[in-house]
Amino acid sequence: MAEHRTMQRSALLDAARSLLSEGGTEALTFPALAERTGLARSSVYEYFRSRGAVVEELCAVDFPVWAAEVEDAMAAAGTAEGKVEAYVRQQLTLVGDRRHRAVVAISASELDAGAREKIRAAHGGLVTMIGDALRDLGHEQPRLAAMMLQGVVDAAVRRLELGGAAEDPAVITEAAVSMALRGVRG
């Protein structure tokens, strides 16, 4: 029975990822989750008390995986500049990944304090790592620089999310890397 419940919970999270990546947080509703999984709506409530609870669980499951992939890419880079480049590139590479698309939709939405705290915790290790690389590059305020750098990544993610309406993904990625490493001088 416990295994069956685990499978249903997993199916609900998968359905939530799909709904988020297709239509953002507005698309994540209990009727839609029930329809996607073939469960009765009342059954969905047995697993999650609210939409916020679904989002919170996705954060707890997906953010650490996503953050670990970015950390691995940074750890593989030999130089501080290489770590900054890996930080930008890996996040933009993950935009095409369904889990990351859900993460992007979650990040853009109104979240309750619990979900925000889980996101902050998952991002904490990344901010520390990128802060260290920025300090090594000579930044006097590495935490502020890290926040600015993440702003560049977030802007690039929004461009990528536009799909055919924006530039080619490779062009967007190169522009973000250039902005991260060389500022507006390009």
- Per-residue pLDDT at 89: 95
- Per-residue pLDDT at 105: 65
- Per-residue pLDDT at 60: 80
- Per-residue pLDDT at 171: 94
Crossing angle for the helix pair 51-76 and 98-107, nearest 10 degrees?
120
- Per-residue pLDDT at 170: 93
- Per-residue pLDDT at 65: 84
CB of 136 within 8 A of CB of 84? no
In this prediction, the residues of the chain whose per-residue pLDDT falls under 70 are 98-99, 101-112, 114-116, 118-119, 122, 186
- Per-residue pLDDT at 158: 82
C-alpha 40/C-alpha 51 separation (Å) is 16
First to last CA, the chain: 58
CB of 92 within 8 A of CB of 156? yes
C-alpha 66/C-alpha 17 separation (Å) is 14
CB of 19 within 8 A of CB of 27? yes
